[in-house]
Structure 1
Amino acid sequence: MATTDRAIASAEAHSAHNYHPLPVVIASADGAWMTDVEGRRFLDMLAGYSALNFGHGNRRLIDAAKAQLERVTLTSRAFHHDRFADFCTQLAELCGMEMVLPMNTGAEAVETAVKTARKWGYRTKGVPDGTAKIIVAADNFHGRTTTIISFSTDEEARADYGPYTPGFEIVPYGDLAALDAAMTDNTVAVLLEPIQGEAGVLVPPPGYLAGVRELTRARNVLFIADEIQSGLGRTGKTFALEHEGVVPDMYVLGKALGGGVVPVSAVVSSAEILGVFRPGEHGSTFGGNPLACAVALEVIAMLRTGEYQQRAAELGDHLHHELGLMTTGGAVETVRGRGLWAGVDISPSYGTGREISEKLMDRGVLVKDTHGSTIRIAPPLVISKEDLDWGLEQLRAVLTR
């Protein structure tokens, strides 16, 4: 049995089948390229769902991690460590906020945001205990914990996990009137992705996010922006909300914050909002650990230069121009997105998203499908224009009859 086939067979036999990965086994990676166990090279056009915004093996991030590994990796939050204050201070400054609550995974950060909003609602807004409501959007993806899938509309993510956590109301994404109608005196927060990634890189109508900000401010409701995928440079701005000049009450961050090296996530907000917590009311053994802080500090320093945001904006314009040209041939029905991030709806007559992804894999390009006929394109922000063009040429070839 070939090395690839053997590795896949072993994985299938001994790991739960909660994912359906493409049949490739990666052994090493550098920048925008990955190499499998048999020495074949692949252009990474997914970037770990935006966790690898700065590419594989980014030297600055690896050096920061190595240096910290030699010093201390974990203290727990029982003690202070010498990277924690800088991490919290600098991340708060990057976000234009005051306070940080660090966690590990994106789902943990979303759970933390939910807990924060409820506690703020009871202690600050004065909502009666046990009645807080949080409004979310249909087709959202915020993670896979029991509470988070309770407000998902994706039956694949939801089915067989009930009973579900109450306290959430779902409204159509992009519909301000529906959001306004759903608000009550017990509404404590609106939780949204500025661009819905898992749904197929759905960009809301112009003015929607600004309208959400206006409505939430008028009703004394927190606007929580889940920028786990859309944030930290992906769309050509540090945060996707910046495209509409909107500042939320709370950012939820993850993925690229750890540079593809370690899991790092955080909730970032004002001192008034995050100040509702007292010792013992929420925590994480690994949240804000020294290794995570060291890597995240380097990520923050890289974002401060603006070069990655500019690169995503410029290459993103090129990406969307080239993808737009493909809509004239009948194979590509719709292209959505912003910056180096696109959802591409393939005509079903050309194959499912999975089939297109497998054909691209055979040509040395790795993407991933979602919701049937859609593929997502989100290469590392360090990809060269030449490599991006080569990847797009493979897509054209796959879609040519």
Structure 2
Amino acid sequence: MFDIETIKNNGLCAGCGLCAGIAGHGTSPIVMEVSSEGYMRPNAVDPIPPALAETIDAVCPGANIRHDATTVGADYHPVWGPLVEARLGWSTDEELRRNASSGGGLSGILVHLLASGAIDYVVQTAVAQDSPVRNAMVISTGRDDVFHAAGSRYAPSSPLADIGARLDAPGRFAFVGKPCDVAGLRQLARRDPRVNQKVPVMIAFMCAGVPSYGGTSALLTAMGVQDESRVASFRYRGDGWPGFATARLDDGTAFTMDYDTSWGRILNRHLQFRCKICPDGVGEFADIVCADGWYCDADGNPLFDEREGRSIMLTRTLRGEAIVGEAITSGAIASEPLSLRSLNHMQPFQARRKGMVLPRLAAMMLSGRERPRFINLALGRNARMLGAKEILRSFAGTFRRLLAGQGRD
């Protein structure tokens, strides 16, 4: 059985907060805290009842990512997961399109859901009220809330840390989270009927990994910020596409850095270990998933120069397809078709990511680590597509890091 200490000690915790959220609210035996490495981690402050421990073992997305066999049908793409339709889209609200990270496609869908009355509120992640360089779960009930929550937050978040309270509270809500967050909630739905009753839609954004808060500090230092306590506002990107990392001090001084440098050279060097063995960066368990729909050069490589934003929008369920169709019909978002060939070029890392998982799991096994349960995800097929050279490289790099003691909380 995977308990929270086993999960943490083997580098499997994603920091989603699900274990704390289902442990009860008010007097939960599990609390989420920032670890010494700068990630969100659960801490057991009281004994965990056996029934709760059994549920955590079954639904934790750090230890489990599993599709039901019925999910992996004819519409299951080995790389991109369950797929009903692929589009490019963007918000028709020009302010929202600019403020969001990638054209406001996801934000436009949320505004439509709220305006239509399909949901009462949205659970999503935004900047914390008490710190411009920290994240917090927020409740959005209208367009302005969605606007202020828009934009990527490349740092730890635990949006499921109060899911029990959400499921007990009045109203139905859309849940927005990282792929692992959504996978955890979907796995909880198999055990708790309240999830499907209270959460009519789950939306994910594609994710390349969660940097630590130390990554944020490293980014601020590289931008020229000498005293983090003087940062009055901070955004990782947005206000354009892809937008610039922007920090403003209490005296109005601004520091900026382009996206390719901030993410590509700094933040992604601070990823937690669990993200390096992630089999689902594309939100396979969501109803709808969005991502950057990068323009590409003549060789098919993504370009990161500033343009009007646009989102990849994949629908994975009939419910998700109906919602996107209604958002288009209502005028909340505009869209155009997207081929899978173009998708492969726009998101090349995600196109090959699943192929790296099996060799990295093999490295975990040989180094004596407990391995997560990844089931019905076409990992073998993806590894074969990756090729022997890349398989060996993924295995060797992971094995070397594990022997050096990396990947333990």
Tell me the TM-score normalized by structure 2.
0.38
Which has the higher Rg, Structure 1 or Structure 2?
1
